Structure 1
Amino acid sequence: MNTEQFVSRHISLNEADKQAMLEKVGVSSIEELISQTIPSSIRLENDLNISEALSEYQMLNHSKELASKNTDYTSYIGFGYHNTLLPSAIQRNIFENPSWYTAYTPYQAEIAQGRLEALLNYQTVVCDLTGFALANASLLDESTAAAEAMHMFFNNRTKDQKKAGANKFFISDLVLPQTVSVLKTKAEGLEIEIVIGDHKTHEFDGSYYGVLLQYPGKNGIVLDYTEDIVEYKKLDLQVVLACDPMALVKLKSPASMGADCAVGTSQRFGIPLGYGGPHAAFFSCREDYKRDIPGRIIGVSQDMYGKRALRMALQTREQH
């Protein structure tokens, strides 16, 4: 493949299209359009020093040459990040499944059925592991997912809590430090007061509205929070558990312990460390929050012919 063909595959604007657009806006050339649009005082006087375009073969060789300069190091980050072993069967048939290589944008359902199926499968796995009926199609990372839960709880305070100005959010001292940092930043803008302490001994009052627990804790300890959550519920506290999804394969689910929400990172399921992330987070909760859950939810519907079709069932904000 020559250079011109390779470039045209990735830059689809051809000469006829360019002339049609120039004619539409009333100019004769790209140069004239730029001169009318960008003040001369901020324009470069010379052309950019850009090398000649490469052919596909040359580009692939160049990419391999650059990649060979990478050096593998052992990561000691820890605290929520884990090295992974990815079975070839999972990599080939799930992560590299060609039927899921459709357009990314989920709201264009007519051309994104493969992508939507991958997201639906993701939601289903999260629901199975956490025990909740509702899961979204991922967020950025565990820290920001926990921050989203804190915000969602804040918006869902009881009438009495809102009237009393309850604005304290409790974080267990077993929660990962990077999560605490993001929560503090998020809380500042919402005028939420962060309180960190021992979830067993801390004394709660009417000024609190939510609790974040780590499962297992940052030190690796596995605790059953069922009895603690019963006590929190007596005070109308909303509870989110930041979970290790691999641990949830064996451990009691957050939903069965009485929690309202579960968050965590999917990095455990085969994603390389990549200098600490970010990795796709999961976010699941009770159905009561279905109008407040952040992100988007993929659902099963049917097309005009009555056949099974996937579409975005709920989207609380643009994030594609």
Structure 2
Amino acid sequence: MDTVITHQAVRAHGSAACRRKPANPRRLWPFLLPSAVVCVLILLFPLAYALYLSFFNYYLDSGVSTFVGLGNYTDLLGDAAFWGALGRTLGIVVSAVGLEFCVGLAVAWGLYRLTVGVRTLNLLMFLPHIITPVVAALFLKWIFAGRWGLLDSVLAGMGVYAPDWLGSPMWARLVVVLADAWQFTPFMILVLYAGLNTVDQSQIEAAQLDGANDRQILLRIMLPAIRPIVAFVLTMRMMDAFRYFDTIYVLTSGGPGSATQTLTMQTYALAFRLFQVGKASALGVLTLVIVLLLAATLLFILGRRKENAE
């Protein structure tokens, strides 16, 4: 009898605990306060200050500032250099991210099919991603340097006349794209490989029973299944590629001419060479708006395709 009473008491206590009201949300706010302060100081305050400076004609060398309203924005939108830098930036971003996705998907699919040595290969292929961008750019510059670079020396030994990799506009853009792909494709491989491993095996087995080959399984079964992951990694890489600066600065400094003069390079030139901080801030704000619009468009397109597929 005592045992029955004890069990009933335990069950009653458990049900009472389940019905207990959740903690007061107001008590949780102090735990979020340190993170909120850090976000405000690191993210919101610099953004607000840059937005504030964009309305002034502010020169860094003299410290003189004059309120011009939207004058900096209208000057930039009417400047052919801005549209040229935007076009070059879009070309580099689309080429680099597209190359990284195609190569990353192919390598991730190959790793998915492997049964031995996957972890070792993942580790080795991820090494370029952990190298400091400036160090990686110096290494690549030594490879692609004209006449005395490693690639030119190898090609000369084979009797092949190499082009001026960093001195020709077309080849300089190609080197910049390859440099970004070399460093960030491992990130794409890692994310896509993790995504492929989340696909339901029953769908793959059913497709195999229906006679689907490997290409059909990858493109029609696995890719639609990991569409949210694809949208995430493409959006992240697109936003990251838009602020591509350090590698370009070391490799070409925006040259030859203006062949690799991207929006970030133009922002740097306005702020620290011409000391036009107000116009540079306006260009930074415009770049942010462009990136947000492109990211929203990309997510909308991938989300709409998913809804149509359903």
Give the structure, 1 or 2, with the largest relative contact order (CA under 8 Å, sep 6 or more): 2
Rg comparison, structure with higher value: 2
Q: Scaled by the length of structure 1, what TM-score is found?
A: 0.25
Q: Of Structure 1 and Structure 2, which has the larger fraction of its residues in strand? A: 1
Q: Scaled by the length of structure 2, what TM-score is found?
A: 0.25
Q: Of Structure 1 and Structure 2, which has the larger fraction of its residues in helix? A: 2
